[in-house]
Structure 1
Amino acid sequence: MNVQESFDKFIKDSKRVLKVSRKPDLPEYKELAKVVSIGVLIVGAIGFVIVLAGSLIGL
């Protein structure tokens, strides 16, 4: 498969994804925002604990 065929396949697949996708409604958006917020808080807390542990042991 050459570069042109790969590019054409990518464009075709991208068009299909855009055709199938839809805008989320308000309840779905709120649920997604909650999940993302919880994920950001968890990752932030893990990072904070790592930096705190590093500063306490002198790294």
Structure 2
Amino acid sequence: MNLNKKSIVDFIKLCQRVLHVSKKPGREEFMNVAKITGIGVLIIGAIGFIISIAAQLLGQI
């Protein structure tokens, strides 16, 4: 890896800028993100379960 001092300093400045612009989400925003994430996990799990059941049924034929 060819890291020099300038690239490290630039990276630190970029991180500081991102942290300065970002904000803590409010309760309502957090709950919305949590609900959407939970629904996504349930959908992915259901799809995986259906595929698993289908594979087992097709294996018995």
Band the TM-score falls in, shorter-chain normalisation: 0.7 to 0.9
- After TM superposition, the score normalised by the length of structure 2 is 0.76
Matched ranges for 1:1-59 at <5 A: 3-4=3-4, 5-58=6-59
C-alpha separation between the residues in 2 aligned to 1:23 and 1:52? 42
CA RMSD between the two structures: 1.6
Structure 2: state its 5+ residue gaps.
Answer: none
Percent identity over the alignment is 50
Structure with greater Cα Rg: 2
Q: How many residues align?
A: 57
- After TM superposition, the score normalised by the length of structure 1 is 0.78
- Encode CA deviations 1:8-59: one digit per residue, 9 max, x unaligned: 3332222211111111111111111111011111111111111111111119
Structure 1: state its 5+ residue gaps.
Answer: none
